[in-house]
Amino acid sequence: DAGVIQSPRHEVTEMGQEVTLRCKPISGHDYLFWYRQTMMRGLELLIYFNNNVPIDDSGMPEDRFSAKMPNASFSTLKIQPSEPRDSAVYFCASRRGLAGHEQFFGPGTRLTVL
């Protein structure tokens, strides 16, 4: 299996622009997670889905952030408009079944907002 795939790997944009991050989970996994990692705040869970349905979006920082999962093999995290404080590494992860099972992480997207 190819693992969790994220694109792009790096994104540099200017403040105010829309940014879309993409994730393809491992085939057969029914949970998908979006995380953000910064030096100051560490690893934060933003939102997660089960069978394409958002379960908990309490970690989404504000209305500028939105996430969708239109089907079992694709999810997006969108930031509109972007701000410099959104600069971070964004990880997507997927899992099959119950919480005791391993969560597989993608390589991350490094976002820089100028």
Partner 1 sequence: GDSVTQMEGPVTLSEEAFLTINCTYTATGYPSLFWYVQYPGEGLQLLLKATKADDKGSNKGFEATYRKETTSFHLEKGSVQVSDSAVYFCALSHTGANSKLTFGKGITLSVRP
4 with 104: CB under 8 angstroms?
A: yes
Least gap, CB of 82 to partner 1 (angstroms): 22
Q: Output 10 or 85, the one with its CB closest to partner 1.
A: 10
Q: Is 55 in the site for partner 1 (CB under 8 A)?
A: yes
Least gap, CB of 92 to partner 1 (angstroms): 9
Q: Is 12 in the site for partner 1 (CB under 8 A)?
A: no
Q: Please name the helix (run of DSSP H) or strand (run of DSSP E) that holds residue 74, with its range, or none.
A: strand 74-79
Token pair of 112, please? Answer: 């820089």
**Amino acid identity, position 65:** F
- 18: CB partners within 8 A, 6+ apart: 78, 79, 80, 81, 82
Q: Output 7 or 17, the one with its CB closest to partner 1.
A: 7
Q: Please name the helix (run of DSSP H) or strand (run of DSSP E) that holds residue 106, with its range, or none.
A: none
Q: Kindly report whether the peptide bond that precedes residue 8 is cis, defined as omega within 30 degrees of 0.
A: yes
Least gap, CB of 102 to partner 1 (angstroms): 5
Q: Is 74 in the site for partner 1 (CB under 8 A)?
A: no
Residues that bind partner 1 (CB under 8 A): 4, 33, 42-43, 45, 48, 50, 55-56, 91, 93, 98-100, 102-108
